[in-house]
Amino acid sequence: MKKKYLDLSSGSWKRGLPKSLFYITASAMLASSLACSSDSGEVQYEDVKVTEPTKGVITTVKEVEPGKYSIIDEKVVEDKAQSKFIIQRLNGEEEVMGVAQASLLVDEKDKDSTTVHNNHVRHGGSGLGSILWWSGMGYMMGRNMSSNSYNGFYRPGVAGVSSDLRSSSVTRTVSRPVSGGRSGFFRSSSRGSFSS
């Protein structure tokens, strides 16, 4: 048992101006309240969802011509840790990677859906990074669970696992009060606007 509290030999109640964004926001609200005395506004709660998969994915791609790949199989596995990315090379070799290793192949531009779509249509294929991000593996790397995988990367007749993963995903709801959209007091995204 070692409870935590301030060492008595130090400390002071004098702290200067409050610096927290909370106070900057409240201060701005006061200024606007004093300037105009409009009333209204009920407090509502805004839910922000964070969804993540509970199961894993094994995605297999085949090199169909040098540097171009197509997904030939994708399935859900119970244990997230068993997720794998399997690459069958043109020369017959097979390479297997876990999520962490595979994610090194993905860079920011691979995550842009418009770019991926255009490149694919124009060039008839795409690199491994964008396939990883826009297949079931992408969910393991943090892609939004509500986004769909990109069908163009799958060989005709091969189905992705989006719906299976989604149905078993968990969502944590972060609920924060907002003031009728007028002030955005508790909403982190709008705090910056009160910096004046």
Partner 1 sequence: MIREKRIVDLPKSIFNELGWEYYISEDAKDYLANDLVRVSEKEADGFYRAGNALYPMLVDVAEYILRNDLLGTTGIPANLHQIIRYTWENDHHFHLFGRFDFAGGIDDLPVKLLEFNADTPTTLPETAVLQWLQLKANHMNEEAQMNFVYDALVENFKRLKNLNRNKDPFILFSTMSDAPEDNNNVALLMEAAYEAGFEVSFKSIEEVIFSESDGIFANNENGDPVNYPFWFKLIPWEYIAVDEPELAEILTKIVTAEKAVVLNPAYTMLFQSKAILKYLWELYPKNEYLLESDFKKLRNKTFVEKVVLGREGANVRIVDENGGVIEEEGGDYDDQLKVYQEYAPLAKDFRGNFYQAGVFFAYEACGLGFRRNNHKILNNSAQFVGHYID
Q: Is position 24 an interface residue for partner 1 (rule: CB under 8 A)?
A: no
Stretch that binds partner 1, among 68-76, 77-85, 143-151, 174-182 (CB under 8 A): 174-182
Asked if residue 107 lies in contact with residue 116, where contact means CB atoms within 8 angstroms, the answer is: no
**Sequence-ordered list of residues with C-beta below 8 angstroms from that of 152, at least 6 positions apart, any chain:** 117, 120, 121
Tell me which DSSP letter residue 18 carries.
-
Cα atoms in the 13 Å half-sphere on the side-chain side of 38: 8
Q: Please pick, from the candidates 24, 32, 62, 125, the single residue that binds partner 1 as defined by CB under 8 A.
A: 32
Compute how many residues bind partner 1; rule: CB under 8 A: 53
Q: Is position 193 an interface residue for partner 1 (rule: CB under 8 A)?
A: no
Q: Please pick, from the candidates 2, 114, 122, 157, the single residue that binds partner 1 as defined by CB under 8 A.
A: 2
Q: Please pick, from the candidates 30, 96, 100, 121, the single residue that binds partner 1 as defined by CB under 8 A.
A: 30
Shortest spacing between CB 150 and partner 1, in angstroms: 25
Between CA 68 and CA 93, with CA 96 as vertex, the angle to 5 degrees is 60
Stretch that binds partner 1, among 6-14, 71-79, 91-99, 106-114 (CB under 8 A): 6-14
Return d(Cα 18, Cα 29) in angstroms, integer: 15
Asked if residue 116 lies in contact with residue 126, where contact means CB atoms within 8 angstroms, the answer is: yes
Stretch that binds partner 1, among 29-37, 77-85, 91-99, 128-136 (CB under 8 A): 29-37
Residue whose CB is less far from partner 1, 52 or 73: 52
Q: Of all helices (H) and strands (E), which one includes residue 109?
A: none
Asked if residue 167 lies in contact with residue 53, where contact means CB atoms within 8 angstroms, the answer is: no
Binding site for partner 1 (CB under 8 A): 1-6, 8, 11-23, 26-27, 29-30, 32-34, 36-43, 45, 47, 49-50, 170-177, 179, 182-183, 185-186, 188
